[in-house]
């Protein structure tokens, strides 16, 4: 399975590159699809016989189906119970985090966790958590190893901590939130294919790990924490923070989705 996000794709450096409907987005859809196809080729070379691409960015309608490598099939569109990780519970033998990015409050190109800028920090069981860390914990619940992570160099540094056995590919070097030293698609494609092929040596389901978890979320404004705290089981723990417990990571991620949706709905124009 490939969980395909877009902020960490080849060449992406700023907002318009990933916002559906912009001219830049149309351009980077092609580069994004190229990254996906490069990984599909590598997984197939490594022995994969059934490859699911789960679109994981924004509208989740970004990869160009007409250009997709025919050795894969694609899950596209919203809304999905497990969002970025829909399909992880279908018996897959490994997951690739393609086009990922650093977490909220961290240095990295377009770094964030679920919401573009309203969240300033997320912690999973007390540890700062990117989308990658959250999704890796969910994969572990189904015994699925993280095979490969791609994005900028900050994303790869993060992955070394939460998925130490995974292959990593830095398609760009972070200069700032909106700037990076980028490799051209011909080079990133070769790197992604080679890493995906190598990563297949780690494929194969292990023992599922189901444990209770605690998630804390820090927002950039107090009214967002107040809005999220109306959700049963979610407690406002500070002026701008909420926290909640869940018996499983699946439940934790579903609750996190609700928290972010409620907070996003409470944002009002330029004042947030």
3-state secondary structure string across 7-68: CCCCCCCCHHHCCCCCHHHHHHHHHHHHHHHHHHHHHHHCCCCCEEEEECCCCCCCCCHHHC
Cα separation of 52 and 3, whole Å?
9
Which pair of structure tokens corresponds to residue 201? 């040596």
CA geometry: angle 169, 30, 3, nearest 5 deg: 50
Q: Does 5 belong to an annotated binding site?
A: yes
Q: Does 35 belong to an annotated binding site?
A: no
Q: Does 191 belong to an annotated binding site?
A: no
Cα separation of 54 and 6, whole Å?
12
As annotated, the active-site residues are: 112
Q: Does 23 belong to an annotated binding site?
A: no
Which pair of structure tokens corresponds to residue 49? 């016989």
Q: Does 66 belong to an annotated binding site?
A: no
Annotated binding site: 5, 7, 57, 101, 131
Annotated binding site for Zn(2+): 5, 7, 57, 101, 131
């Amino acid at each position: 399975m490939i969980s395909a996000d877009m902020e960490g794709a080849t060449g992406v450096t700023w907002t318009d590159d990933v916002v559906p409907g912009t001219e830049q987005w149309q351009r980077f859809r092609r580069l994004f699809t190229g990254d996906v196809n490069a990984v599909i080729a590598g997984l197939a070379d490594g022995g994969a016989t059934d490859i699911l691409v789960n679109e994981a960015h924004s509208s989740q309608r970004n990869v160009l189906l007409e250009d997709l490598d025919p050795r894969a099939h694609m899950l596209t569109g919203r809304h999905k119970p497990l969002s970025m990780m829909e399909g992880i519970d279908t018996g897959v033998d490994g997951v690739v985090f393609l086009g990922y990015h650093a977490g909220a409050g961290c240095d990295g190109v377009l770094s964030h966790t679920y919401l573009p800028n309203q969240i300033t920090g997320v912690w999973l069981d007390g540890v700062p958590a990117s989308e990658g860390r959250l999704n890796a914990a969910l994969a572990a619940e189904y015994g699925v190893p993280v095979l490969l992570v791609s994005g900028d160099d900050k994303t790869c540094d993060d992955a070394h901590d939460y998925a130490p056995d995974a292959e990593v590919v830095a398609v760009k070097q972070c200069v700032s939130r909106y700037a990076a030293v980028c490799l051209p698609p011909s080079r990133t494609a070769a790197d992604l294919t080679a890493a995906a092929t190598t990563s297949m040596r780690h494929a194969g389901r292990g023992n599922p790990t189901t444990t209770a978890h605690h998630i804390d979320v820090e927002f950039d404004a107090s009214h967002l924490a107040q809005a999220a705290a109306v959700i049963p089981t979610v407690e406002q723990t500070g002026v701008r923070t909420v926290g909640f417990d869940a018996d499983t990571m699946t439940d934790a991620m579903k609750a996190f989705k609700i928290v972010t949706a409620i907070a996003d709905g409470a944002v009002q124009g330029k004042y947030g």
